[in-house]
């Protein structure tokens, strides 16, 4: 029951202030966030790539409220691109962006986000890496997929994310399963209404498998974004069934979650990409991670009240 409450709290400014100021928050945040500053993030990225992982780096910052923040986020990504290239990491480290960090939710936001993300994708391509557009709540899906379509005309390796909890996603998978397409399939992390999304975990999981089949049978590069051991095993079976070699799909997991499983997949020769968030604006990301897992929530709430 606490999951939906935490997802609502993820968008509350007053709760943000309370949680951010609590001293007990820090160690929990450090588990999921690879540092507030770029240098710390690069150290973590270097450690992961040194252990055979691929990485996708997310500069945290979402749901911004004015245009200057969108420009700051764009510039942060440009600096990140330079830093990855300068450290010789561009081959193994790409970037994930949330279009809300580029102004998508502001008036005229679709065009604004498209304008702001373009130089990042250009710079990434010049540096020899790629960008994946994260997917946010269901009201943004059409805009995000339209921007993806535009970007892919010039930068065909730009990646998409689809969420199995949305009813529409099987159709989106069919549309995105073509040649050259990079698609990360996730279950979905936002609080969505019953008229657009499955509410029951069993149904979300079944939809995940249906979407996985479409992507594995297609011609693109499926990116299996899940920590769920059943989804990982099913993805391996489907890849075999559809004759995919290990470099024709990849697993993706979040920084700090199921690290032993990440290592195990690398040891088996699978592509394993870790999603590495960094930056000071970690609140929304952190709350979604708490909402996903009762054990995380319980630990965090106990430490708040025991002080």
**Residues assigned a catalytic role:** 134, 184
3-class state of residue 153 by DSSP = helix
The partner residues of 14 in beta bridges, in order of sequence, read none
The partner residues of 274 in beta bridges, in order of sequence, read 55, 253
- According to the binding rule CB under 6 A, does residue 296 interact with ligand FDA? yes
- According to the binding rule CB under 6 A, does residue 191 interact with ligand FDA? no
Alpha-carbon span 288 to 300, nearest angstrom = 13
* Distance between first and last Cα of the chain: 24
User: Scanning residues 42 to 101, which ones bind ligand FDA (CB under 6 A)?
Assistant: none
- According to the binding rule CB under 6 A, does residue 252 interact with ligand FDA? yes
Contact 103, 62 (CB under 8 A): no
Q: Which residue, 55 or 112, is less far from ligand FDA as judged by CB? A: 55
Query: Residue 276: what are its φ and ψ, rounded to 5°?
Result: -115, 105
- According to the binding rule CB under 6 A, does residue 236 interact with ligand FDA? no
- According to the binding rule CB under 6 A, does residue 161 interact with ligand FDA? yes
Provide the minimum distance between the beta carbon of 33 and ligand FDA in the complex, in angstroms, as a whole number: 12
Alpha-carbon span 262 to 274, nearest angstrom = 8
Alpha-carbon span 198 to 196, nearest angstrom = 7
Tokens at 264, concatenated: 């195990």
User: Scanning residues 102 to 141, which ones bind ligand FDA (CB under 6 A)?
Assistant: 134-135
Q: Which residue, 67 or 227, is less far from ligand FDA as judged by CB? A: 227
- According to the binding rule CB under 6 A, does residue 189 interact with ligand FDA? yes
Of 106, 257, 301, 304, which one interacts with ligand FDA (CB under 6 A)? 257
Alpha-carbon span 161 to 97, nearest angstrom = 11
- According to the binding rule CB under 6 A, does residue 289 interact with ligand FDA? yes
Give the count of alpha carbons within 13 A of 173, CB side only.
28
Alpha-carbon span 149 to 66, nearest angstrom = 26
Which run of H or E residues covers position 251? strand 250-254
Tokens at 17, concatenated: 């202030």
Of 19, 28, 253, 272, which one interacts with ligand FDA (CB under 6 A)? 253
Most distant pair of Cα atoms in the chain: their distance: 55
Alpha-carbon span 290 to 53, nearest angstrom = 25
Provide the minimum distance between the beta carbon of 173 and ligand FDA in the complex, in angstroms, as a whole number: 15
- According to the binding rule CB under 6 A, does residue 225 interact with ligand FDA? yes
Of 102, 190, 282, 300, which one interacts with ligand FDA (CB under 6 A)? 190
- Among the candidate windows 11-19, 67-75, 183-191, 278-286, which touches ligand FDA by CB under 6 A? 183-191
Of 69, 75, 170, 228, which one interacts with ligand FDA (CB under 6 A)? 228
Of 173, 198, 292, 300, which one interacts with ligand FDA (CB under 6 A)? 292
Of 81, 129, 140, 163, which one interacts with ligand FDA (CB under 6 A)? 163
Task: Please report, as ranges, the residues that interact with ligand FDA according to CB under 6 A.
Answer: 134-135, 161, 163, 184, 186-190, 225-228, 231, 252-254, 257-258, 275, 289, 292-293, 296
């Amino acid at each position: 029951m606490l999951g939906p409450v935490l997802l609502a709290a993820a968008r509350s400014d007053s709760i943000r202030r309370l949680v951010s100021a609590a001293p007990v928050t820090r160690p929990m945040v450090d588990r999921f966030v690879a540092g507030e500053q770029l240098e710390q993030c690069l150290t973590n990225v270097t450690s992961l790539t040194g252990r055979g992982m691929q990485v996708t780096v997310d500069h945290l910052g979402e749901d911004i409220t004015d245009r200057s923040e969108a420009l700051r986020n764009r510039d942060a990504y440009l600096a990140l691109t330079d830093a990855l290239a300068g450290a010789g990491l561009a081959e193994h480290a790409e970037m994930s962006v949330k279009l809300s960090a580029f102004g998508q939710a502001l008036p005229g936001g679709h065009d604004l986000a498209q304008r702001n993300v373009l130089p990042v994708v250009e710079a990434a391509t010049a540096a020899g890496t790629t960008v994946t557009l994260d997917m946010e709540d269901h009201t943004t899906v059409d805009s995000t997929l339209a921007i993806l379509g535009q970007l892919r005309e010039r930068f065909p390796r730009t990646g998409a994310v689809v969420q199995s909890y949305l009813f529409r996603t099987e159709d989106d998978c069919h549309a995105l399963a073509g040649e050259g397409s990079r698609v990360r399939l996730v279950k979905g992390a936002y609080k969505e209404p019953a008229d657009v999304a499955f509410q029951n975990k069993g149904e979300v999981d079944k939809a995940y498998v249906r979407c996985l089949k479409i992507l594995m049978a297609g011609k693109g590069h499926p990116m299996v974004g899940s920590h769920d051991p059943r989804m990982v095993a099913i993805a391996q079976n489907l890849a075999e069934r559809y004759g995919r070699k290990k470099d024709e799909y990849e697993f993706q997991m979040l920084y700090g979650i199921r690290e032993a499983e990440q290592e195990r997949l690398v040891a088996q020769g699978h592509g394993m990409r870790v999603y590495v968030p960094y930056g000071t604006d970690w609140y929304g990301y952190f709350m979604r991670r708490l909402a996903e897992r009762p054990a995380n929530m319980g630990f965090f709430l106990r430490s708040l009240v025991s002080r």
